[in-house]
């Protein structure tokens, strides 16, 4: 404890008081043990216990008022810009602390609950009112919320913990109570005058300006012709053509192009263009449409039912109306209410970033999801802007095409950069400067580019924003799977502790908003990535909100408390400045650090002994790049002290996880790259009861060379475990009993080794049919059989497969299979994807009878399968959407 906070003249009195209490406790315990041993009454001891507790309370009061000096009260100021985002993350943080089993939480659990309840009440009030009306109060709420987080974290990491426990925490709770009372009074007053309630609205959007008039339009010829056909042909009923895509993808430009096509202006009796935006006035917009179809400029007289007037004007006419930039389904419903059907072949063009809106407005045709420009189309745009009708000189051709390629197909960026080079000298050195500083040109044009993305960002719900920003913590062009995001978003404290379906909803929301690019090719995992421009936006916003940052190990250490939640360190061989691990590093540097990633080249000797992790007590996520460091016993034991860890990925060579890993009660994801011999999982993993994902390369449940059976308590289970890999299994009667301890397993990956049983002349395969939640199995077969006759006989024998009926994906690698084994697989009623890799099929024939019907199989991949003849019935694959054959050279 700092000397400034202690009255030194009272120190000996304090020590004497503590010594007396210790003696009193010792006497009390000894007396209680003796009476229990002699079965005597403990009433006197109970009275003594109450006296002891009273004396402890006296000591606490004396600590506050006699022995310790009250620290200067300093008002914490909220240092970020997005208050609702911070409050959402704090809400998750407090809930996670309350759910934690860590000893450091027990002392203040009651206080944390008080803070959580009060903040939740205050937060619920501001969700339903306009924050701008109560700006001063909202700022005080954020300040005290940030102060509460700072105080609680300080106690947990033992940074002047006693002082914060005795002084700061009660003061902060009192401040919060006063604000809660103020909010309660406001709520009661508003309830009496309900007309004063103003629901929060999004930020005022960027002023609309023409994105189309006078622009050079290139590309999208196929899309243009498709829309022209849908506008002029098809049903007589009113139809909707929806165009959706990410910000800056050219939705408005394409709509403008077809709207002004001569064939369209001739085809329709009436046309109108209406730009909607996030904030809109229904009457005002309908008024604009009415004026356009009437050729008027003036506003309608007030108190006129403009919707009715518009409907009458459109009735009996073939009309085309463009509703540009619609943000939600309610707006669509309100604006289209007056549009009559009329059976005249009328059309509506809808542009939106939100896929949900596009699907909601759909009638006869699916929404057109606008692709990104091809490199040659981006180059065409740049060339036309820079040279008009002339061609680009040969000396600029290569660098010009490279610039176009780096625009990554987003028309908004291509148009911006085209404007930059059009206004500069046509010299190679000048264009090279543009190529090398592309990001700075884009970021400096804030209004034109970043504000366009910010509109979509502001429209996201607050609970989705941190998940979106987090995607940019990975390098550009990284494809991220929903499985990866499930573990990471939970671990980083960005989503509530809910089931995976909720994580999928977050991902679906981001894809629907067109802010992420989704790749959902059948047969592959759903992945997404950010466009480079969106990635840059997220980096800027994440740094503003201190969500994450990336530094090198040589970056000078900061003494600031304002570290980001998530920090990535790129190790650059500068051990002298690699201070985050240093034993002399002050605790406040890691107080707000919840996640740490360290990347780098291989360390020859590992981290020096002077570097430590144990002071990063709030760490929830730890990623030590296995190619950077091989974690040894001493560092493993330090990791075991991080009781708040949710995510851990390391590389190691140990044979067993240390006994101290039982301290990681909160760990949800454990990923280990094992670089040594087989790593034994049991019995250590039974203590990590919150595990959701366990992925350890080259691991086994037990020592496969040992003869004795594994003893497991009857009620031992890992009920939250969803993903398990990459096990090595060999025949054991205990294996199936162990699998039963994972009742909610969804994905299982293992290698099957030495499973040929000469006594029964049959392969052993673990029974999995009791795992009713299991949806995906990936298995590789590793035979160690060197006996030719045994191996030959093995190919002739079917496998005794027992898969769960709920199985949807199955991948088998290096398996010898018979037609009977394949028939067993065909009977799985819910199987949607089947991959067979390097598979030996007996007789090199697969004859599918009438009973061999893959009812729901959508994807079949055969890779290097020894198959020369394959007879398929008409109904063998009634649902197949994709067949992929690779290296099946002998197939007829």
State CA 609 to chain mean position distance: 35
Bridge partners (DSSP) of residue 817 are 841
Q: Three-state SS for 95?
A: helix
Residue 357 neighbours by CB under 8 Å, 6+ apart: 242, 244, 326, 327, 328, 329, 332, 350
Q: Which is more confidently placed, 796 or 584?
A: 796
| Mean pLDDT, rounded, for 757-761 | 65
pTM as predicted: 0.76
- DSSP one-letter code for 72: P
Judge whether residue 384 has pLDDT over 70: yes
| Mean pLDDT, rounded, for 722-740 | 88
What is the tens place of the pLDDT at every residue in 57-93? 666 665 655 555 555 545 567 788 888 999 999 999 9
Q: Which is more confidently placed, 875 or 12?
A: 875
pLDDT at 302: 58
| Mean pLDDT, rounded, for 692-705 | 87
CA dihedral sign, ordered 53, 59, 65, 68: negative
Instruction: Report the alpha-carbon distance of residue 518 to residue 482 in Å, rounded.
Output: 11
The region of weakest confidence among 24-33, 182-191, 279-288, 681-690 is 24-33
What CATH code is assigned to 221-369? 3.40.50.300
Within 10 angstroms of residue 756's Cβ, the number of other Cβ atoms is: 19
pLDDT at 206: 38
Instruction: Report the alpha-carbon distance of residue 622 to residue 634 in Å, rounded.
Output: 16
Residue % of the chain over a pLDDT of 70:
78
Judge whether residue 682 has pLDDT over 90: no
What CATH code is assigned to 746-892? 3.80.10
Instruction: Report the alpha-carbon distance of residue 536 to residue 439 in Å, rounded.
Output: 8
pLDDT at 347: 94
207 confidence band (pLDDT: 50, 70, 90): very low
Residues 451, 456, 459, 463, Cα dihedral to 10°: -110
pLDDT at 48: 66
Per the listing, tokens 């009328």 go with 346
| Mean pLDDT, rounded, for 348-362 | 91
Helices 411-422, 428-436: inter-axial angle, 10-degree rounding: 140
Q: Which is more confidently placed, 601 or 672?
A: 672
Class of domain 375-444: mainly alpha
Q: Among 683, 626, 693, 624, which Cα is nearest to 656's? A: 683
Instruction: Report the alpha-carbon distance of residue 844 to residue 348 in Å, rounded.
Output: 57
Quote the tokens at residue 164. Answer: 């914060």
Residues 614, 615, 618, 622, Cα dihedral to 10°: -50
Instruction: Report the alpha-carbon distance of residue 728 to residue 754 in Å, rounded.
Output: 10
Judge whether residue 714 has pLDDT over 60: yes
Instruction: Report the alpha-carbon distance of residue 798 to residue 827 in Å, rounded.
Output: 15
Instruction: Report the alpha-carbon distance of residue 258 to residue 265 in Å, rounded.
Output: 9
pLDDT at 203: 42
Instruction: Report the alpha-carbon distance of residue 508 to residue 502 in Å, rounded.
Output: 10
Judge whether residue 884 has pLDDT over 60: yes
Judge whether residue 667 has pLDDT over 70: yes
Judge whether residue 648 has pLDDT over 90: yes
Domain range 450-544, its CATH number among 1.10.10.10, 3.40.50.410, 3.20.20.70, 1.10.10.410: 1.10.10.10
Per the listing, tokens 């004026």 go with 291
The region of weakest confidence among 335-339, 706-710, 802-806 is 706-710
Q: Among 217, 201, 212, 248, which Cα is nearest to 447's? A: 248
pLDDT at 199: 41
| 650 touches 675 (CB < 8 A) | no
User: Rounded to 5 degrees, what are φ and ψ at 797?
Assistant: -95, 135
Instruction: Report the alpha-carbon distance of residue 337 to residue 319 in Å, rounded.
Output: 15
pLDDT at 36: 63
Judge whether residue 14 has pLDDT over 80: no
H or E element, residue 182: helix 169-192
- Which ranges of 587-703 does DSSP label H, i.e. alpha helix? 633-639
Instruction: Report the alpha-carbon distance of residue 507 to residue 526 in Å, rounded.
Output: 10
- DSSP one-letter code for 320: E
pLDDT at 174: 93
| 813 touches 781 (CB < 8 A) | yes
| Mean pLDDT, rounded, for 340-362 | 90
What is the tens place of the pLDDT at every residue in 820-871? 888 889 999 999 999 999 988 888 888 887 788 999 999 999 999 988 888 8
Instruction: Report the alpha-carbon distance of residue 423 to residue 178 in Å, rounded.
Output: 59
Q: Which is more confidently placed, 449 or 869?
A: 869
Half-sphere exposure of 737 (CA within 13 A, CB side): 13
Quote the tokens at residue 310. Answer: 């518009």
Q: Among 6, 4, 11, 53, which Cα is nearest to 28's? A: 53
Radius of gyration from C-alpha coordinates of the chain: 34
Instruction: Report the alpha-carbon distance of residue 672 to residue 690 in Å, rounded.
Output: 17
Residue % of the chain over a pLDDT of 90:
28
303 confidence band (pLDDT: 50, 70, 90): low
Longest Cα separation, the chain: 107
Write down the mean pLDDT value for the chain.
Answer: 81
Domain range annotation of the chain: 3-67, 83-196, 221-369, 375-444, 450-544, 746-892
Bridge partners (DSSP) of residue 570 are 552, 599
Bridge partners (DSSP) of residue 550 are 568
Quote the tokens at residue 460. Answer: 């996201």
Q: Which is more confidently placed, 513 or 591?
A: 513
Q: Among 320, 325, 328, which Cα is nearest to 350's? A: 325
pLDDT at 804: 95
Instruction: Report the alpha-carbon distance of residue 157 to residue 287 in Å, rounded.
Output: 61
The region of weakest confidence among 252-256, 365-369, 450-454, 755-759 is 755-759
pLDDT at 241: 94
The region of weakest confidence among 374-383, 520-529, 755-764 is 755-764
Quote the tokens at residue 73. Answer: 């009260």
Judge whether residue 517 has pLDDT over 50: yes
What is the tens place of the pLDDT at every residue in 107-154? 899 999 999 999 999 988 888 777 667 888 999 999 999 999 989 998
Residues 262, 267, 269, 270, Cα dihedral to 10°: -50
* Angle value at C-alpha 232, between 227 and 351, nearest 5 degrees: 35
CA distances in angstroms from 27 to 14, 41, 221, listed in the order given: 20, 17, 91
Instruction: Report the alpha-carbon distance of residue 722 to residue 555 in Å, rounded.
Output: 39
- Long-range pairs for 852-858 at CB < 8 Å and ≥24 separation? 852/822, 852/823, 852/826, 852/876, 853/826, 853/877, 853/878, 854/826, 854/878, 854/879, 854/880, 855/829, 855/879, 856/829, 856/830, 856/831, 856/832, 857/831, 857/832, 857/833, 858/522, 858/832, 858/833, 858/882
Instruction: Report the alpha-carbon distance of residue 533 to residue 515 in Å, rounded.
Output: 10
Instruction: Report the alpha-carbon distance of residue 849 to residue 823 in Å, rounded.
Output: 9
């Amino acid at each position: 404890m700092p000397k400034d906070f202690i009255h030194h003249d009272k120190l000996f009195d304090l020590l004497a008081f503590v010594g007396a209490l210790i003696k009193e406790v010792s006497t009390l315990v000894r007396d209680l043990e003796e009476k229990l041993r002699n079965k005597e009454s403990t009433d006197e001891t109970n009275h003594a216990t109450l006296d002891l507790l009273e004396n402890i309370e006296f000591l606490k009061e004396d600590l506050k008022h006699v022995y310790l000096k009250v620290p200067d009260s300093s008002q914490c100021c909220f240092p970020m810009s997005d208050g609702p985002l911070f409050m959402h993350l704090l809400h998750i943080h407090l809930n996670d602390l309350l759910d934690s089993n860590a000893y450091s939480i027990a002392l203040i659990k009651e206080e944390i609950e008080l803070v959580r309840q009060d903040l939740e009440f205050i937060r619920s009030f501001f969700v339903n009112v306009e924050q701008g009306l109560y700006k001063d109060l909202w700022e005080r709420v954020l300040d005290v919320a940030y102060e509460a987080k700072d105080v609680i974290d300080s106690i947990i990491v033992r940074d002047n913990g006693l002082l914060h426990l005795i002084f700061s925490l009660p003061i902060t709770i009192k401040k919060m109570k006063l604000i809660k009372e103020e909010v309660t009074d406001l709520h009661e007053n508003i309830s009496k005058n309900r007309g004063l309630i103003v629901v929060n609205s999004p930020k005022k959007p960027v002023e609309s300006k023409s994105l189309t008039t006078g622009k050079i339009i290139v590309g999208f010829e196929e899309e243009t012709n498709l829309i022209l056909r849908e506008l002029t042909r098809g049903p007589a009923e009113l139809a909707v053509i929806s165009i959706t895509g990410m910000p800056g993808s050219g939705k408005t430009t394409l709509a403008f192009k077809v709207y002004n096509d001569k064939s369209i202006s001739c085809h329709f009796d009436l046309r109108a263009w209406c730009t909607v935006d996030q904030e809109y006035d229904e009457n005002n917009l309908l008024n604009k449409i009415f004026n356009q179809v009437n050729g008027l400029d003036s506003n309608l007289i007030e108190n006129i039912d403009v919707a009715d007037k518009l409907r009458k004007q459109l009735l009996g006419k073939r009309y085309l109306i463009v509703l540009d930039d619609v943000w939600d389904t309610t707006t669509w419903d309100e604006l289209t209410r007056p549009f009559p059907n009329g059976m005249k072949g009328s059309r509506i063009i809808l542009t939106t970033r939100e896929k949900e809106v596009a699907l909601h407005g759909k009638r006869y045709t699916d929404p057109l999801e606008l692709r990104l420009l091809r490199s040659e189309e981006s180059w065409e745009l740049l060339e036309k802007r820079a040279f008009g009708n002339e061609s680009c000189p040969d000396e600029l051709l290569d660098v010009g095409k490279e610039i176009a390629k780096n625009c990554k197909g987003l028309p908004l960026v291509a148009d911006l950069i085209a404007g930059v080079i059009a206004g500069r000298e046509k010299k190679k050195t000048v264009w090279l400067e543009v190529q090398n500083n592309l990001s700075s040109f884009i970021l400096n044009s804030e209004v034109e580019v970043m504000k366009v993305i910010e509109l979509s960002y502001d429209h996201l719900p607050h609970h989705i924003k941190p998940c979106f920003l987090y995607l940019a913590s990975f390098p550009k062009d990284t494809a991220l799977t929903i499985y990866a995001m499930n573990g990471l978003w939970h671990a980083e404290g960005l989503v509530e502790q809910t089931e995976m379906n909720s994580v999928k909803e977050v991902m679906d929301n981001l894809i629907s908003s067109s802010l992420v690019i989704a790749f959902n090719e059948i047969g592959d995992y759903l992945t997404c990535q950010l466009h480079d421009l969106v990635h840059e936006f997220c980096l800027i916003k994440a740094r503003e909100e201190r969500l994450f940052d990336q530094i090198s190990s040589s970056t000078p250490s900061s003494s600031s408390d304002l570290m980001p939640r998530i920090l990535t360190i790129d190790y650059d061989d500068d051990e002298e400045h690699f201070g985050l691990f240093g034993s002399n590093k002050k605790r406040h540097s890691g107080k707000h650090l919840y996640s740490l990633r360290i990347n780098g080249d291989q360390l020859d000797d590992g981290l020096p002994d002077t570097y430590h992790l144990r002071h990063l007590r709030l760490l929830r996520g730890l990623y030590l790049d296995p190619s950077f460091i091989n974690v040894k016993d001493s560092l493993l034991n330090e990791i075991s002290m991080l009781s708040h860890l949710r995510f851990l990925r390391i590389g190691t060579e140990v044979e067993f996880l240390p006994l101290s890993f039982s301290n990681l009660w909160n760990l949800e994801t454990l990923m280990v790259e094992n670089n040594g011999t087989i790593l034994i999982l049991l019995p250590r993993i039974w203590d990590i009861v919150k595990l959701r994902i366990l992925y350890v390369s080259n691991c086994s449940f037990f020592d496969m060379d040992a003869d004795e059976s594994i003893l497991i308590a009857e009620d031992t289970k890992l009920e939250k475990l969803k993903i398990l890999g990459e096990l090595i299994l060999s025949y054991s009667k205990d294996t199936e009993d162990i699998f039963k301890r994972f009742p909610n397993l969804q994905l299982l990956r293992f290698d099957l080794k030495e499973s040929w049983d000469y006594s029964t002349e049959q392969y052993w395969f673990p029974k999995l049919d009791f795992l009713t939640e299991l949806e995906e199995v990936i298995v590789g077969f590793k035979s160690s059989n060197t006996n030719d006759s045994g191996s030959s006989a093995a190919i002739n024998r079917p496998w005794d497969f027992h898969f769960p009926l709920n199985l949807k994906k199955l991948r088998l690698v290096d398996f010898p299979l018979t037609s009977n084994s394949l028939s067993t697989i065909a009977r799985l009623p819910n199987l949607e994807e089947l991959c067979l890799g390097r598979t030996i099929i007996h007789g090199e024939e697969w004859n599918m009878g009438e009973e061999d019907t893959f009812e729901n199989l959508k994807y079949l991949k055969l890779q290097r399968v020894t198959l020369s003849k394959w007879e398929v019935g008409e109904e063998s694959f009634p649902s197949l959407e994709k067949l992929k054959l690779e290296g099946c050279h002998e197939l007829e």
